[in-house]
Amino acid sequence: MHPSIDESLEQAKRNLDRTLPKPILDVSIIQANGVVRDLESQATLEAAKSSQTTRSEFKAAKKIAQESIRAFIEELKNRSSTSEFAIGPRQVSTDSLDERQAEAASRGDSATRHGRSGVQS
């Protein structure tokens, strides 16, 4: 394995909570698979335009990167996930907001997210 790739992926693992929201986990797996695909397709096409030396170096680096990313994908697949997940303005707890702030939050008013009511009286 390549030390810098492995170090980056190990840091990524440490940055993640043990239990991830399922939507985040699913998107992460899809994105990582996309990187593997891009290495095989677009990146390989671009490398083919280079010198023989560069193509050889790319081929070796690509193999290492793909193996490391695939191992990371397996790590993600083995993580536990939770359905407890909230994102977006409709998921904001409105218990502590006054009526105008709650209304603005339900519309997604960015001023409300920063503690100001974006609603005119």
Task: State pLDDT tens for residues 1-42.
Answer: 456 777 887 887 777 767 788 888 899 999 999 999 999 999
Residue with tokens 């671009």, as numbered in its chain: 46
Q: What are phi and psi of 41, to 5 degrees?
A: -105, -85
- What is the pLDDT confidence band of residue 110, given thresholds at 50, 70 and 90? very low
Provide the mean pLDDT of the chain: 77
Where exactly are the structural domains of the chain?
3-79
